[in-house]
């Protein structure tokens, strides 16, 4: 929760950053994109490291180190410094987020794993909600810099909790570092896994696009909402807290691909609803979008974990790499759409991403694994 909160601390206060540093909306959005891009770049390394050195060691160390740049962001003297420190935060975050699903995969049997992973996704939603909702009131009362001090305190508590509560040793035999990296690259030859990776990328592109530029829409002349009230709109994230465990139970009765497709379609519908004028319908659209996105996101990581035969840490890290690469573009490209076409341009970009994810689900995720195909061919 603390790691996901740190990711989104600047998202609801982007207009404040635009005013203080004199930057345009697309530039202010880089304070989110910098974190997401750094996560995308480093996630695969953490997956391989956790396969080689153990999940607990990697998770505890990364969480503890994350405290340092989070505090430093509160002291950033310029916009460039803030971007650099946000990127440093992003370099440590996947040490927890990219490894947590693989840690669960090591410790729970397949019949329970989907529900455990859905719980992890629920914690991710709660963390994102905490960061966004907390940032508005704290900024209104003490300034945006204080939000980073609150985030650092939560992260320090999280690091202490990991050190105390995680099992002291993995239940699996660690791989050598070379084998771990080879396993990561092997996953890119599996169409089934690549399809899931693309779903993650498209999911987060749409998510970041919609919520990164939402504050500009809600503070525009059409609504004129104050910063604290804009932050409260992120309470729609509560729909994800509900949707994630429901999806975890539903997938035990319905195929994972069907659940992901339903979530993606619901997300596209929710994004379109935000084009309506009345604010209550906009909020309803956001609720539908969040519920749909987290229905798909609650299932996709466990789908990856179940599909990967070896180097599961690397497979989960690759999923997050694609996920955050999509988010990097989602935090910037829709900003250009905003500057050209306003909110309809942002929505169009996000709906296109949901459509691309549906195509990946239909065309790639149903393919048999190459290893299964080879085994079947050898048997014949």
Q: What is the model's pLDDT at position 376?
A: 40
Report the C-alpha gap between 274 and 30 in whole angstroms.
23
Q: What is the model's pLDDT at position 29?
A: 81
Span 58-84, pLDDT tens digits: 999 999 999 999 999 999 999 999 999
pLDDT greater than 60 at residue 379: no
CATH class of 2-365: mainly alpha
Report the C-alpha gap between 113 and 97 in whole angstroms.
16
- Considering only residues 25 and 95, tell me which one the structure prediction assigns the higher pLDDT: 95
Rg (CA), the chain: 20
Q: What is the model's pLDDT at position 175?
A: 53
pLDDT greater than 70 at residue 226: yes
Quote the mean pLDDT of the chain.
85
Q: What is the model's pLDDT at position 377?
A: 39
Please count the other Cβ atoms lying within 10 Å of the Cβ belonging to residue 80.
Answer: 10
Please count the other Cβ atoms lying within 10 Å of the Cβ belonging to residue 55.
Answer: 28
Average the pLDDT over each of 140-154, 235-249, 256-270 and give the range with the smallest value: 235-249
Task: Return the residue matching tokens 């993606």.
Answer: 264
Task: Return the residue matching tokens 């997956």.
Answer: 47
Q: What is the model's pLDDT at position 378?
A: 43
- Which three-class secondary structure string do you get for 205-219? HHHHHHHHCHHHHHC
Average the pLDDT over each of 47-51, 172-176, 277-281, 345-349 and give the range with the smallest value: 172-176
- Considering only residues 68 and 317, tell me which one the structure prediction assigns the higher pLDDT: 68
Report the C-alpha gap between 150 and 5 in whole angstroms.
10
Cα dihedral 39, 43, 45, 48, rounded to 10, equals 160
Report the C-alpha gap between 256 and 149 in whole angstroms.
40
Q: Coil, strand, or helix at residue 255? A: coil
Span 322-376, pLDDT tens digits: 988 898 788 778 888 888 899 999 999 999 999 999 999 999 998 877 655 444 4
What is the arithmetic mean of pLDDT over 277-286?
Answer: 92
């Amino acid at each position: 929760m603390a790691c996901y909160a740190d990711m989104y601390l600047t998202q609801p206060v982007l207009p404040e950053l635009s005013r203080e540093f004199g930057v345009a909306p697309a530039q202010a959005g880089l304070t989110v994109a910098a974190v997401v891009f750094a996560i995308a770049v480093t996630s695969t390394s953490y997956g391989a490291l956790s396969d080689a050195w153990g999940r607990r060691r990697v998770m505890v160390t990364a969480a503890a180190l994350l405290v340092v740049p989070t505090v430093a962001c509160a002291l950033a003297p310029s916009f460039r410094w803030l971007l650099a420190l946000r990127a440093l935060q992003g370099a440590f975050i996947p040490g927890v987020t990219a490894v947590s699903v693989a840690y669960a995969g090591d410790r729970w049997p397949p019949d329970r794993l989907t529900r455990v992973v859905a719980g992890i996704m629920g914690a991710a939603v709660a963390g994102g909600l905490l960061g966004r909702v907390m940032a508005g009131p704290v900024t209104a009362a003490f300034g945006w810099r204080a939000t980073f001090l609150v985030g650092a305190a939560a992260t320090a508590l999280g690091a202490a909790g990991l050190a105390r509560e995680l099992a002291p040793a993995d239940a699996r035999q660690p791989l050598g570092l070379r084998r771990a990296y080879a396993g990561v690259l092997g996953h890119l030859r599996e169409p089934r896994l690549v399809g899931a990776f693309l779903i993650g990328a498209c999911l987060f592109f749409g998510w970041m696009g919609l919520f990164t530029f939402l504050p500009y829409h809600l503070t525009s002349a059409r609504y004129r909402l104050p910063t604290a009230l804009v932050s409260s709109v992120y309470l729609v994230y509560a729909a994800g807290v509900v949707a994630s465990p429901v999806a975890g139970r539903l997938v035990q009765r319905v195929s994972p691909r069907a659940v992901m497709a339903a979530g993606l379609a619901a997300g596209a519908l929710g994004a379109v609803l935000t084009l309506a004028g009345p604010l209550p319908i906009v909020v309803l659209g956001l609720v539908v979008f969040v519920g749909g996105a987290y229905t798909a996101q609650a299932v996709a990581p466990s789908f990856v974990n179940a599909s990967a035969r070896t180097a599961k840490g690397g497979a989960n890290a690759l999923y997050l790499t694609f996920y955050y690469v999509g988010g990097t573009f989602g935090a910037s490209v829709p900003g250009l759409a905003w500057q050209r076409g306003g909110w309809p341009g942002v929505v169009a970009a996000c709906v296109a991403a949901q459509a691309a994810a549906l195509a990946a689900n239909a065309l790639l995720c149903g393919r048999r694994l190459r290893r299964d195909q080879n085994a079947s061919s050898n048997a014949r």
